[in-house]
Chains A and B, each alone.
Chain A
Amino acid sequence: AQSVTQLDSQVPVFEEAPVELRCNYSSSVSVYLFWYVQYPNQGLQLLLKYLSGSTLVKGINGFEAEFNKSQTSFHLRKPSVHISDTAEYFCAVSSGGSNYKLTFGKGTLLTVNP
């Protein structure tokens, strides 16, 4: 079985500060890793994904994440956040195969303050 742990339920930061949202996963097989963002009262939008290849993945809105197999982590980073980045961020894992079912973490609420 797969699981995802997002240790931080809330992360408040000031505008233009850097941010890191932590994600750790557990799986007995190779994984695909994803970060989704949910703005207030909206659906889930893909930020970035790791399928294979380079462990540093760049996504939309200036976000990036690094896959670290030895630490089973996929932390999300942005060097300088904007007020508009305020949202809930979900890390998710899939084992691929024939189903591509995603298992989500509990989410991290990023609040960017002026």
Chain B
Amino acid sequence: EPEVTQTPSHQVTQMGQEVILRCVPISNHLYFYWYRQILGQKVEFLVSFYNNEISEKSEIFDDQFSVERPDGSNFTLKIRSTKLEDSAMYFCASSGGTLNTGELFFGEGSRLTVL
């Protein structure tokens, strides 16, 4: 069964460093998302991406964040200068295949720890 894959599963970084989280969405999907879950809290929407551009972003998604689809398969989230409060689990999701049911398919997540 097709699935969304994310790398790395866990990354530890120093405050102020740049981090890139990578995702491979399901191949025929058209919509891509990043969500964040701070430990013990709810899953929060960061950004959605369609047709090679951001379609919607939350107030969390400030200038420190960027997304890119550099080739036909990868979808990346970059944090330019990490802060302690960026420590969280980051989930990538995709949707919108040939039979779009509105369901988002999530990856296993990338845990980011900022020291």
Residues of A participating in the B interface, judged by any CB pair closer than 8 Å:
32, 34, 36, 42-46, 49, 51, 90, 92, 94, 96, 98-107
Contact flag A96-B102 (CB < 8 Å), given A101-B33, A105-B42: yes
Complex CA gap A46/B42 in Å reads 16
Complex CA gap A78/B103 in Å reads 22
Contact flag A51-B43 (CB < 8 Å), given A42-B108, A43-B109, A101-B33: no
Our pick among B42, B56, B106 for the contact of A101 (Cβ within 8 Å) is B56
Pick from B12-20, B44-52, B64-72, B79-87 the stretch touching chain A.
B44-52
Least CB distance, B43 to chain A, in whole angstroms = 4
Complex CA gap A49/B102 in Å reads 9
Complex CA gap A99/B100 in Å reads 11
Not counting A94-B102, A107-B42, a sample of 10 additional A-B residue pairs whose C-beta atoms are within 8 angstroms of each other reads A43-B108, A49-B102, A51-B102, A90-B42, A96-B102, A100-B100, A101-B48, A104-B42, A104-B45, A106-B42
Least CB distance, A23 to chain B, in whole angstroms = 13
Cβ contacts under 8 Å, A34 to chain B: 103
Our pick among B43, B96, B100 for the contact of A90 (Cβ within 8 Å) is B43
Cβ contacts under 8 Å, A92 to chain B: 43
Within 8 A of A (CB), among B80-115: 91, 95-96, 100-109
Least CB distance, A18 to chain B, in whole angstroms = 25
Question: Which one of A34, A43, A94, A99 has the greatest number of beta carbons of chain B within 10 Å?
Answer: A43
Q: Say whether A102 contacts B104, CB under 8 Å.
A: yes
Q: Say whether B101 contacts A51, CB under 8 Å.
A: yes
Query: Which 10 A-B pairs have CB atoms at the shortest separation, nearest pair first?
Result: A43-B108, A44-B106, A106-B42, A104-B43, A32-B102, A43-B106, A100-B102, A43-B109, A100-B95, A104-B42
